[in-house]
Structure formats: structure tokens, C-alpha cells
Amino acid sequence: MTQRILTAHIGSELDVVGARQRARQIAALCGFGVQDQVRIATAVSELARNVYNYAGSGKIHFAIDGQTAPQVLSIRIEDQGPGIAQLDKILAGTYRSPTGMGLGILGAQRLMDRCHIHSTPGAGTHITLQKLFPRDAPLLDGSMIGALSGSLQALPSDITLSEVQQQNRELLATLAELKTRQDDLLQLTRELEDTNRGVVALFAELDEKADHLRRADQMKSRFLSNMSHEFRTPLSSIRALSKLLLDRIDGELSEEQEKQVLFILQSAVSLSDLVNDLLDLAKIEAGK
């Protein structure tokens, strides 16, 4: 169920300012916070200015949808102007008008929860904006909405001055917030720079250790290769002498002597195989 609050007519610059003020007042009475009040007022102001600039005149209807929580603030802006010929491109963000047309629509769309636009060239434009009530907002019934509507009927004479003052306050608050965020970003940048310096120092240390490990690995490979070659010479001699003894070059061997010489030869052969394996490992690590 939709319950209308107020209808505002747009036909002059003053009406655009009045629509912004009315939007803020209605948002405040509905229980919206200050930031949401500014968002709603800004969205209405942008679209009201579009109505005035491109259609000449139009209407803005403020209403509340729903009888149970959460209720919805619904704002309908309508005109009988030329319509929006490039609406699809505008909504997609690909259309750039030399007059800036479309920026207000995109801005209003981002500020509200829902935005539905229907535009027919030569037959006008109808835009519906919706914003969900905050969780802690009071539930408004028919009598409360009627009282709210009655309190908004009389337009104050100093609307332009009061609205400009309000916008100035909002601008100052926004600038203060931006300054705070800028300070936070500067602090974060300094912390990131310190972290980067630490990371650079850590990488330098890791490179140094990696280089040390590479040199140690090369030394190990050279040691294995040299040691293996040094072992092969005496092992070859032991194997050759053992074979000479087994071939009875220096005379006959007793059964026990032959057994012991065979042990010596087998051990020399096993040790030679181990040395050859070490040489193969050294060659593999050297990429040969």
C-alpha cells in the first residue's frame, strides 16, 4: 500500500532548491540518519535539476510504501519533456553528453537503494527512487503520515538561504571527513613504506644467504669430485694387487690367505662402486 506524503512542483530554480529541502525534511521525519538524509536530498536535487533544465517543469511525489517494517520511502519524479534518447548508454556509463546530461541520473542511482527509469522520446520521463527505512525507524501509520504531510505544506520564505546554509554545513562536514581519510591514507602510506623497506632488507639478506648456500654447494661438489678421484687411485692399486695375489704371481696361497685376499678384493670393489656413485652425483650437480 502506498501512502502519499507530499507533491512538489518543479518550474524554477527556487523549486529545485525547495525539492532538496523537502527531501531532507521528509527523510529526517521518517527516521533516516544524517548521511542518508544528505544522500536522499542530493539524489532528488540532481533529478529535479534535470527536470528543470531539460523538460522545463515537472512534479515530485513523496510517498511511503508498506504498512509493516521495513517501510520504503518512494520518490517519483515525472515530466512531460523530450525524454532521454540515450538512456541505455547513460545507465551503462558509456554516454558522455557535452552538457553533462546523465551524470545526475547515475549519481542518484548510486545514492538510493532502487532506481527505476522509464523514458519515451517526446513523451516525458518517469523516475522512481526508493530507500529502505532504517531498522530503528518508527513504523508510520496513516494518521502519522497525515500529520507529517500537514507539517510540510507551508514552505518557509527563507528557503534559499536556509538550504544554502545547510549545504555549506554538509560541504564542511564532507571536507572534514575527507581530511580525516586523507590523514589516514598518509599514515597508511608511511606504514607501507616502512614495511616495504623491511621487505627490501629481508630480500637482500635472503639473497646474501642464498648466494652463501650456492657457494657452499659448489664447494661441496668440488670436494666430492676431488675426494672421489683421490680415493680411486689407492683403490685401483688395492684391487690390482689383490688380483695379482689371487693369480699366484708371488707363489701359492694357503686356503686362509686366499679367503682373506678375496675379502680385501670384494671390499675394494664395493668401495670403488661407492666412489663412482659419488662421482656421478658430483657430475649431476654440475649439470654434466
Q: Report all structural domains of the chain as residue ranges with CATH numbers, in order of start.
A: 2-155 (3.30.565.10), 211-285 (1.10.287)
Q: Which residues pair with 188 in a beta bridge?
A: none
User: What is the pLDDT, as a whole number, of residue 284?
Assistant: 74
Q: Provide the pLDDT confidence category of residue 158 given band limits of 50, 70 and 90.
A: low
**Would you say residue 161 has pLDDT above 60?**
no
User: What is the pLDDT, as a whole number, of residue 78?
Assistant: 93
- Length of the chain counted residue by residue: 288
Tell me 114's DSSP state: E
C-alpha 28/C-alpha 77 separation (Å) is 20
Mean pLDDT computed over 171-199: 83
Please state, in angstroms and as integers, the Cα–Cα distance from residue 1 to each residue in 72, 101, 152, 203, following that order: 11, 34, 21, 66
Task: Please tell me the least confidently modeled range out of 68-77, 95-104, 136-145.
Answer: 95-104
User: What is the pLDDT, as a whole number, of residue 166?
Assistant: 65
**Would you say residue 190 has pLDDT above 50?**
yes
User: How high is the mean pLDDT of the chain?
Assistant: 82
Q: Nine-digit cell at 122?
A: 517526446
Q: Provide the pLDDT confidence category of residue 157 given band limits of 50, 70 and 90.
A: very low
C-alpha 117/C-alpha 109 separation (Å) is 10
For 220-259, what is each residue's pLDDT tens digit? Answer: 777 777 777 777 778 788 888 888 888 887 778 888 888 8
What percentage of the chain carries pLDDT values higher than 70? 87
